[in-house]
């Protein structure tokens, strides 16, 4: 797809993007002759810019839509009072995106979500629920007899054993969903995720292509699963370029000023991100502050979230009532593909991108 009226996004000056370092983040593009040889293409779809670019890159490479699936892990789960760390509108945005592009989307979640895992006290890891093509959902995991205690927010660390929001609520959930579906046996599956070299020196070392942790090709299941980081070598400018070419209306978070789409209350949040979250979703931030007080340990070891928020300034679009309403809307159903000439670079592009390294 081409769009003559779409802007060409160029990288900003270094002063605008501290992440950019030509020498450190230059990564070679690789060609995968077998890219079109898989039965299933699973896109880890957060609704963020990198996952959108991963999906669009498959289309531009000629992968048939009838073999692509979007998988979204609901960090907060689906229980009553679920909104805790994540954006309320994200699941609905993901559904609208899938409908707009005519591909299926499957949701998965750990029972009780982030809050249950955080509050775990002498208890086993919860079960995982995952939607399937036949309708409804299946259940996997949660069978370990080991009982452990957290009573602590995930740590601001690259170590996934303590930054458990990524491992327990996303990575493990996806693995359980693959391992517990017979349709992936005797077949070839490519899992696509959006880590980029430009994000950090650690991510620059990630392999672009490797065998996935769920692979069992050499056993009786013949479950062949590879991992492909499709946009690993992309700069942020290249990410926005592909989104502009397809005129994708971005998640409200970007339009509100966030430079990276993770949880709205991400543990890596800057003072201005916490202040912005407090401005648009005060109840969620107050819940987090209350748990910090209950645990006697803060997310940021130097200060609690309310103090951190007080040191920041809310992004200007957070005063836009219509945009804030979009972010808070569990039933978001806006347009995903805009008309020629409508697409604009969102306010958050090339902005603060605090996140895991």
| 239, 321: one domain | no
Residue 354 lies in a domain: no
* pLDDT tens track for 206-232: 999 999 999 999 999 999 999 999 999
* pLDDT value at residue 31: 52
Domain that holds residue 285: 258-331
Return the number of other C-beta atoms located less than 10 Å from residue 182's C-beta.
9
How many domains, in total, are found in the chain? Answer: 2
| 58, 139: one domain | yes
| 41, 152: one domain | yes
Quick one: what percent of the chain has pLDDT higher than 90?
82
| 229, 211: one domain | yes
Residue 151 lies in a domain: yes
Q: Single out the residue in 210, 228, 250 at which a domain terminates.
A: 250
Residue 105 pLDDT > 90: yes
Q: Where residue 112 sits, what CATH number does that domain have? A: 3.40.50.620
| 306, 213: one domain | no
Edge-to-edge strand ranges of the sheet holding 209-211: 137-140, 128-131, 105-110, 68-73, 40-44, 187-193, 223-229, 209-211
The span from the CA of 354 to the CA of 40, in Å, is 32
Strand partners, 192: 43, 228
Residue 7 pLDDT > 90: no
Which range is most confident: 19-23, 25-29, 149-153? 149-153
Residue 32 pLDDT > 60: no
Q: Single out the residue in 230, 250, 270 at which a domain terminates.
A: 250
* pLDDT value at residue 130: 97
The span from the CA of 53 to the CA of 263, in Å, is 19
Residue 13 pLDDT > 50: no
Return the number of other C-beta atoms located less than 10 Å from residue 336's C-beta.
18
| 202, 305: one domain | no
Give the mean model confidence (pLDDT) for residues 132-150. 91
| 246, 262: one domain | no
| 105, 243: one domain | yes
* pLDDT tens track for 242-252: 999 999 999 99
Residue 19 pLDDT > 90: no
Residue 68 pLDDT > 90: yes
Residue 28 pLDDT > 70: no
Q: Single out the residue in 207, 231, 250 at which a domain terminates.
A: 250
CA-angle at 329, arms to 327 and 333, nearest 5° = 100
- For the stretch 79-82, contacts whose Cβ atoms lie closer than 8 Å and that sit 24 or more positions apart, written own/partner, are 79/111, 79/112, 79/113, 79/116, 82/113
Rg (CA), the chain: 20
| 178, 63: one domain | yes
């Amino acid at each position: 797809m081409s769009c003559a009226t779409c802007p060409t996004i160029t990288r900003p000056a270094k002063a605008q993007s501290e992440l950019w370092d030509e020498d450190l983040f230059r990564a070679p593009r690789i060609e995968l002759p077998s890219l079109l040889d898989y039965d299933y293409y699973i896109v880890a779809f957060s609704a963020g810019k990198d996952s959108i670019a991963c999906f669009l890159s498959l289309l531009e490479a000629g992968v048939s839509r009838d073999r692509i699936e979007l998988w979204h892990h609901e960090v907060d789960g689906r229980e009553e009072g679920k909104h805790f760390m994540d954006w309320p509108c994200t699941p609905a945005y993901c559904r609208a995106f899938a409908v707009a592009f005519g591909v299926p989307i499957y949701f998965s979640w750990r029972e009780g979500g982030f809050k249950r895992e955080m509050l775990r006290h002498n208890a086993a890891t919860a079960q995982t629920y995952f939607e399937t093509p036949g309708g409804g959902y299946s259940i996997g995991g949660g069978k370990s007899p080991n009982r452990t205690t957290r009573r602590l927010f995930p740590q601001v660390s690259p170590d996934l054993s303590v930054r458990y929001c990524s491992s327990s609520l996303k990575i493990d959930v996806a693995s359980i969903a693959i391992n517990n579906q017979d349709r992936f046996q005797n077949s070839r599956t490519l899992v696509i995720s959006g880590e980029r070299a430009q994000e950090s020196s650690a991510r620059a070392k990630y392999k672009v292509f490797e065998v996935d942790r769920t692979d069992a090709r050499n056993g009786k299941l013949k479950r062949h699963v590879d991992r492909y980081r499709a946009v690993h070598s992309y700069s942020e400018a290249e990410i926005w370029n592909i989104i502009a070419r397809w005129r994708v209306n971005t998640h409200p978070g970007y339009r509100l000023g966030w430079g990276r789409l993770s949880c709205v209350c991400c543990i890596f949040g800057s003072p201005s991100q916490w202040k912005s979250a407090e401005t648009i979703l005060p109840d969620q931030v107050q819940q987090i502050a209350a748990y910090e007080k209950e645990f006697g340990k803060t997310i940021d070891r130097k200060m609690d979230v309310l103090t951190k928020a007080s040191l920041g300034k809310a992004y200007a679009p957070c005063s836009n009532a219509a945009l804030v309403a979009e972010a808070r809307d569990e039933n978001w159903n806006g347009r995903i593909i805009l008309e020629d000439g409508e697409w604009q670079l969102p306010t958050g592009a090339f902005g603060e991108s605090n996140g895991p390294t």
